[in-house]
Structure 1
Amino acid sequence: MKGWQKVLKKNHEYSRHLLKVVSALFAVVIWFYVLNSEPQEVTHNMTLHLVSPKGLSVSNLTPEKLSVKIKGSRAFIRTMVEREESVYLKLQNYPYQKKGGFNIFLSPEDIPVPFGIQVIDVKPDKFKVELQKEIRKNVPVKVNLVGALPSDLKLMETKIEPSEVLISGPIEVMRKISRVTTAPIDLTTLEGSGELKISLSDIDPRIESKRVTPLDFAYVVKPRKANLTLKKVKIRFLSSSNRISSKTRFVSLDVLAPEGVRLTASSVQVIADVPDERGVHSVKLRAKLPEGIHLLQINPQSINVSNR
């Protein structure tokens, strides 16, 4: 019995080694096929990043993209294009001059590409670079509102967070920058209250913003006037505890309702979400209204609630 077990074990190990050898041979065959497949030539745009020496910044407009003609197998070229490769050029390798700047000459050898890719040509192959002292400063963010609200609505509140961003760039350009603006926000798309993720608008390419994530824009849109006030609306307290109390049990609501709509205090809900922790809490009230009814204000907007 033990002899059969040894034979089976040896056969199993032999099969494993054979499978590894076959897999390796298969991989080699595929690799040679890729290397020897019909090469193709394509023109690919690559982003150019100029890495300035410490304390300096590029002060003139330079190419943002390089048109690079590359040659290689279809598989290698597809991989390179999908990765969106960039070109980083370290300017500390060039002589710095306070006036006049210096010329940069590019050749195919200056373009780093993955294995299996050959650079045939690059354009532009010559451009000028001027450097100035770099400065940094915080500037306010201005919200760029476009469009208009309906005449019966009003934009009551706006808030942008953060309200300032840190930017850097050459001193002569930075002197002209006193603020940055957000991308356009269409007022016709705003309803009620809410928040939006918004980016900064395009700024001078010589200016770098240290803010890479979107900004938070909060807004409140309300009707200009109320046509109905509901009095003595009972507050509904939501809590896991049965030992809550408040001196305020009723509130009034200012609402905007279509003409002819009858609305009573019993058809709306005002809710206080009470924290589970013991103590006295200032709780902001919220309201549930029938469809088509717009809340203007709860009076009062928040109350003190005791959780014992």
Structure 2
Amino acid sequence: MKGLIFDNIGLKVSAVLLSVFLWFFVASRGQSEISFEAPLEFRDIPADLGIVSSSTKSVMLTIRGQERFVKSLNASNIGVFINMSKAREGEGIYHVSKEDIKVPFAISVTGVEPSAIKVKLEERVARSVPVKVSIIGTTRGNATVSTTVDPKNVVISGLKSDVSQIHFIKTEEVDISDIRDTVTENLELDTTGLNIVPAVSKVSVKFTFTEKKR
């Protein structure tokens, strides 16, 4: 009996190996590998810092999985995240690992390019700047229109290099051609093209109409 068991062990091992091979063969059928460009998301940036620039805003992933799952992939179900909680001011290299990539079940990531991202961070600052009323048009005859702004100054915040370049902030344009009386209006602050955030979005402006006697 013992001899019979050992006589058949070779056949049993062969059968197990064949089963494993067949399993891998079946499992690999329908597998597909593609390249997928995914946007980068920087998370947990310290509150006193902001990103000035990064060497790339996306990475190319090599993704493998069942063809039917791979074909259904889109930007909404893939995420590439870089944890910036320990970031410091200045330029640094931050690495993307497979653990930083979110993909659906049954999908695997076999490659990331680039895997090292150069990121420059800068201090966030705030300061007060005066408000200027943006006026167009002219008054008729001897009339004049003066303005009083409340508040006269607003606090703006942003990256240090952006805030340092701003010496005042304008309101939306106001045409004074048709003003015939003293009026007060709430005007939006114009931040077009400015990488800053004002503490308030509107200011109150009093337009005082004066007609000089001839």
CA contact (8 A) 1:131 1:170 kept: no
Map 1:82-97; keep pairs closer than 5 Å: 92-93=84-85, 95-96=87-88
Within the candidate set 142, 148, 172, 1:159 is matched to 148
CA contact (8 A) 1:59 1:206 kept: no
Q: Which residue of 1 aligns with 2:209?
A: 221
Shift of 1:57: 2.4
Q: Which residue of 2 aligns with 1:192?
A: 181
Higher relative contact order (CA 8 A, sep 6+): 2
Provide TM-score, normalisation by structure 1. Answer: 0.37
SS of the aligned residue for 1:189 comes to: coil
1:108–1:50 Cα change, 3 Å = closer
Alignment deviations for residues 122-180 of structure 1 (CA, whole Å, 9 cap, x no partner):
xxxxx98532011111111111111111133211x310100011111111222211111
Alignment deviations for residues 61-89 of structure 1 (CA, whole Å, 9 cap, x no partner):
999xxxx9779xxxxxxxxxxxxxxxxx9
Supply the AA of the counterpart residue of 1:98. Answer: G
| Structure 1, gaps ≥5 residues long | 1-47, 72-88, 111-126, 227-308
SS of the aligned residue for 1:150 comes to: coil
Structure-2 separation of matches of 1:152 and 1:49: 58
SS of the aligned residue for 1:99 comes to: strand
Alignment deviations for residues 250-304 of structure 1 (CA, whole Å, 9 cap, x no partner):
xxxxxxxxxxxxxxxxxxxxxxxxxxxxxxxxxxxxxxxxxxxxxxxxxxxxxxx
Structure-1 separation of matches of 2:42 and 2:176: 37
Structure-2 separation of matches of 1:216 and 1:200: 10
Shift of 1:191: 2.1
Q: Which residue of 2 aligns with 1:178?
A: 167
SS of the aligned residue for 1:172 comes to: helix
Matched, 1:168 2:157: yes
Structure-2 separation of matches of 1:132 and 1:53: 11
Supply the AA of the counterpart residue of 1:99. Answer: E
* Count of matched residue pairs: 139
1:54–1:70 Cα change, 3 Å = closer
SS of the aligned residue for 2:177 comes to: helix
Give me the CA root mean square deviation. 3.9
Q: Which residue of 2 aligns with 1:98?
A: 90
Provide TM-score, normalisation by structure 2. Answer: 0.51
1:210–1:175 Cα change, 3 Å = same
Structure-1 separation of matches of 2:87 and 2:45: 12
Within the candidate set 127, 141, 144, 1:137 is matched to 127
Alignment deviations for residues 3-50 of structure 1 (CA, whole Å, 9 cap, x no partner):
xxxxxxxxxxxxxxxxxxxxxxxxxxxxxxxxxxxxxxxxxxxxx998
Supply the AA of the counterpart residue of 1:221. Answer: F
Structure-2 separation of matches of 1:54 and 1:191: 48
> Identity of aligned pairs, percent?
18
Alignment deviations for residues 78-110 of structure 1 (CA, whole Å, 9 cap, x no partner):
xxxxxxxxxxx9963474461267699xx9959
Map 1:1-308; keep pairs closer than 5 Å: 52-60=45-53, 92-93=84-85, 95-96=87-88, 98-99=90-91, 130-155=120-145, 157-212=146-201, 214-225=202-213
1:184–1:100 Cα change, 3 Å = farther
CA contact (8 A) 2:89 2:123 kept: no
Name whichever structure is richer in strand by fraction: 2
Structure-2 separation of matches of 1:206 and 1:224: 42
Structure-2 separation of matches of 1:184 and 1:50: 38
1:128–1:202 Cα change, 3 Å = farther
| Structure 2, gaps ≥5 residues long | 1-40, 58-73, 104-116
1:154–1:97 Cα change, 3 Å = closer
Structure-2 separation of matches of 1:138 and 1:150: 35
